[in-house]
Amino acid sequence: MHTDWTSLLVSWLPFLILIGVWLYLSRSVGMRARTKSGATMIELYEQQVAETRQMNANLERIAAALEKRG
């Protein structure tokens, strides 16, 4: 029984290590990825969230003005 687990672990270990290394590299490269402007992907995402919030506030003001008018 013990040798079954050992052989299973030894046979799957390279695949698990490969998957672990791939996940680590993809996360570390993805977080540090920079665009031509020099901004990271996280900074671009934060800018997009801020612009979306501003757009929602503007749309709410427009909707309120239209409700008062009608």
pLDDT by residue (tens digit) across 11-48?
Answer: 999 999 999 999 988 877 766 666 677 777 778 889 99
Predicted pLDDT of residue 19: 96
Alpha-carbon distance 61 to 64, whole Å? 5
Clarify whether residues 8 and 26 are in a common domain.
yes
CB 40, CB 32: distance < 8 Å:
yes
Distances from the Cα of 18 to the Cα of 3, 5, 9, 33, 50, angstroms: 23, 20, 14, 22, 38
Question: In 10 A of CB 34, how many CB atoms?
Answer: 11
Clarify whether residues 28 and 54 are in a common domain.
no
Clarify whether residues 39 and 66 are in a common domain.
yes
**In which domain, by residue range, is 44 found?**
34-70
Predicted pLDDT of residue 37: 74
Predicted pLDDT of residue 44: 84
Which residues lie closer than 8 Å to 39 by C-beta, 6 or more apart? 47
Q: Pull the structure tokens for residue 4.
A: 């079954």
Clarify whether residues 21 and 43 are in a common domain.
no
Clarify whether residues 58 and 69 are in a common domain.
yes
